[in-house]
Amino acid sequence: MDKGVVLWFTGLSGSGKTTVARKIEEILRQRKYKVELLDGDEVRKWLSPEAGFTREDRTRHLIRVANVARLLARNGVIVLCSFVSPYIEVRKRIREIVEKEKIPFIEIYVKCSLEECIRRDPKGLYKRALRGEIKHMTGIDDPYEPPPNPEIIIDTENNTVEENINIILQNIQKHIRL
């Protein structure tokens, strides 16, 4: 594989983006692919530690991530990006950054209702946002705009992790020989 691929997982906090992305990463590594997982919580610490969660800060941060993903994919890495990335307009810009170098960009919508994400609340963010301790929480006082035409949709509320992994693996085979 000369160039890599960017798999962009988008969905609400708590939807299961990172859980599924980590399993995909594990499978691809076992198959000897060069893989990098860029996870929102981890990447923010080293790429944009100054960024808050306003629309402007999120946009700037995600554009930086898109450029990192593009550089990695340009060098044959399969890049798994797990970010809430709530705005359609910003995801469109991310796609343009990646695809301008003829690198495949696969948007994966990790579908899960807000109610289920609030129930799961693995980091306690929704509880804090509902008490007013966190501002600009996607789904609470900031919008999440579902992608109108993602390449892949997985439903983490109604499907098992294994079912969702199989959906992704079946759909990426035209870009990655599995």
Residues belonging to the active site? 85
Rounded CA separation 47/12 (Å): 21
Q: Could you give the CA distance from residue 97 to residue 25 in angstroms, rounded to a whole number?
A: 23
DSSP bridge pairs for 154: 110
35 contacts 28 by C-beta, under 8 angstroms:
yes
CA distance 101 to 66: 12
Query: What are the angstrom distances between the C-alpha of 159 and each of 16, 19, 66, 107, 164?
Result: 11, 13, 29, 19, 6
Q: Which residues pair with 5 in a beta bridge?
A: 78
